[in-house]
Structure 1
Amino acid sequence: MSEIVTADQHVFIDLPEQLEADLIDLLLPPWELDGSFLAQSTMERYRTELTATPLFRETAATLRHALTEEGGGYAVLRLGILAKALGADDGRFLRLATAFAAEVAVPFSPFPRWPLWKDIGVKVDKDPGKSSGIGYNAFHMDLVNGTRPPDYTTLLCVRPDPLGGGRSILSDAHAAVARLSEDSRALLAESAYSYGTFFDLFDVGEEYKPFPILDDSNPSEEFVRFTAKMLERSELGQAHAEAARELAEELVRGQVSFILQPGDYLIVNQRRFLHGREALHSRQETVPVSDRRLLLQLFLRARADDGSAA
């Protein structure tokens, strides 16, 4: 495991005190869905309500800039004061988080069996490498085997690991690729990779199998279709496996990490960054289920006119 490198402070976006006070008093209506997407009428209502609040426009612009500027690709919106005042899993707080997400792209759920926000708790008997497991969750992009993966994946922290583990890790996928040899990049651009199952999903395209890790049609803006789990759970030839392993090592070498605090809202541009999680602290079985780490996940689809839609 690499040395811990903390993220640059500019990716952590604090809300101005006056905006926090105004949002605590704001009553947004419950959202409506249009299929698996947040309804346009809900997004328009939320924007109307929020843009009438002083300093909201500037904060939303800062968030979008952090996610799309050159060298950027993720941000943590600090909503802890709102979470404490309203309750991190309260409907009013979730509507505010959803409204911020809608300023970035269109919220949606690719899982028909889940609501808009999906719980990611801790299960001690789960595969340790899974999102709800207790072990190291290696670098990956979500829904890697769909032809149209979510453009953004987001994680809202309700509770961190009370024992102090579970640091979030992120790495610039394109920077990692740039450090590889030409031969390795050529192998990664071949349709030789596969991972996972594909069923009961909405609005992520068709199953992509096999797929290239690199799409050379527009390398700087395309997904780096990678999950380190393919190294153990896919049948790969030696050369393709070695190239993917080299990429995994570069991702770790370039990673940053931090612990999400209650109310922290991590938004990741999947066209630029891959994410994962360090192992939770040992002895999770001693922590009551109601006190264990809990995140809420929401996916976003870029609007067709913003230049990053698939």
Structure 2
Amino acid sequence: MKDLTTNQHLSARDEDLAVIAVPAVMAQRLAARCTAAMTGHQWSMGNLRTARAVLRSPDSASLVGRLAARLSRRRSAPGWAVLALPPSLDDGAMRIAAAGLLGAVGRPFFSISQQGRLWIGQESSPARDVAAFGGIGEQRLHIDAPNVERVPDYTSLLILRPDPAGGGASLIGDLHAAMSVLSDDDRAQLARPVFFEGRADGLSGVGAPRMPFPILDATGGGPPWIRWAGKMLDDPRNDSDLMPVVRRFADALTRCTHELMLHRGHLLIADQQRVAHGRTALGDQTGLPDGSRRLLQQAKAAAEPTAPVHDSMLAGHGE
């Protein structure tokens, strides 16, 4: 078994490579030329064309090339990246600029509607389930919507306000590295379409619910998907006889997980075919007034071969 370290903090050099600074001029162009307009559950095509014109300009080539190098599906690439927008942007401009950057990998969309906005999510609150999106406790590693026909290719998290109590570090786990340390027998068990997780009703852009499903899913052609959510360990619908192998995978994933702290303006983009994400618990929220707690928002993207990042890969800039 490979020697993997639990919750590795990124070294200063690795964090420098992972965090890609977005030039202020680029961010301002995206925010000024694009809007929040949607077509159904998708960011409007007019917005997408406008954003990609900015991203294909010569002065954007370096950023897009660095993003391609991190989001290539080659095993040597990490499958995730953090784009650092100027923190001085106001929240509205930051959301629009972040949508434009997400358009580098695919068509931005929401799967859960919150008044039809692309970016969903509200201020963290002790009133929510502690492990939920917007809760204050630890959130175990997972991919978004593992229980649907079309798992979103990319998910993204935009920090508008970090936890003032200093908690809520992001976790990124390498799904395929974890799967590779299991035995053939374990992988065969995880490939059985017998697993359950949560609910998947009323979602947009992801097809119908798919339950039960295989954790290791090689049915679609190409690299397999690993349909994982830590909550499966507690779902009573899952066969208790299979829990030992599910726990072995969970333990392996923990051992190949990086931890990093995101700050205002940081946009984490994760390729869900490669990595799972989660968070550590927030700090002590006692006495924090409404409007001061952590505010993180989420949007997804469907991969498109014509997106700038994939153009860059084909041109060799992602090598």
TM-score (normalised: structure 2): 0.86
Could you tell me whether the CA contact under 8 Å between 1:147 and 1:207 is conserved in 2? yes
Deviation at 1:145, TM superposition (A): 0.9
State the match for 1:33 in structure 2.
38
One-letter identity of the residue aligned with 1:135? G
Report what 1:135 is aligned to: 137
Match of 1:209 in 2: 211
Number of paired residues?
A: 298
Q: Any idea what SS the aligned residue of 1:267 has?
A: strand
Deviation at 1:78, TM superposition (A): 1.2
- 2:43 maps to a residue whose letter is L
Measure how far apart 1:2 and its partner are: 3.8
Q: Tell me the CA shift for residue 107 of structure 1.
A: 0.1
Matched residue, 1:75: 81
d(CA) in 1 for partners of 2:279 and 2:158?
Answer: 14
Question: Contact 1:192–1:240 at 8 Å: present in 2 too?
Answer: no
Q: Are the structure 2 counterparts of residues 190 and 160 from structure 1 closer, same or farther at C-alpha, using a change threshold of 3 Å?
A: same
Structure 1 equivalent of residue 18 of structure 2: 11
The one-letter amino acid of 1:92's match is A
Between 109-118 and 97-106, the greater mean CA deviation after superposition: 109-118
Residues 213 and 288 of structure 1, relative CA distance in 2, 3 Å threshold: same
| Structure 1 pair 28–305 and aligned structure 2 pair: CA distance change class (3 A) | closer
Q: What do the CA deviations read for 1:194-227 (whole angstroms, capped 9, x no partner)?
A: 1111222111111111000001347872321011
Change (3 A) 1:22 1:275: closer
Identity across the alignment (%): 31
The offset of 1:287, in angstroms, is 1.1
**Cα distance in structure 2, aligned partners of 1:120 and 1:139:** 20
- Indicate how the Cα distance of structure 1 residues 205 and 3 shifts in structure 2: closer, same or farther if over 3 A, else same: closer
Q: Which ranges of structure 2 fall in alignment gaps of 5 or more residues?
A: 311-319
**Is 2:111–2:205's contact at 8 Å kept on the other side of the alignment?**
yes
Compute the displacement of 1:97 (Å): 1.2
Contact 1:213/1:224 (CA < 8 Å) preserved in 2?
yes
Q: Normalising to structure 1: TM-score of the pair?
A: 0.89
What is the aligned-residue RMSD (CA, Å)? Answer: 2.3
Is the 8 Å Cα contact of residues 113 and 120 (structure 2) preserved in structure 1? no
CA distance in 2: counterparts of 1:220 and 1:246, whole angstroms? 25
Distance 2:211 2:263 in 1: 37
**1:121, distance to aligned residue in structure 2 (A):** 2.3
**For 2:235 and 2:205, how far apart are their aligned partners in 1?**
25
1:11-67 per-residue CA deviation (whole Å, 9 max, x = no partner) reads: 21123xxx3245436621424322211222221122224544x52122122212211
TM-superposed CA distance for 1:137, in Å, is 0.3
Aligned to 2:202, which of 200, 203, 214?
A: 200
* Deviations 1:157-210, CA, capped at 9 Å, x for gaps: 111111111110011101100011111111100011011112221111111110
Structure 2 match to 1:43: 48
One of 174, 180, 184 as aligned partner of 1:182: 184
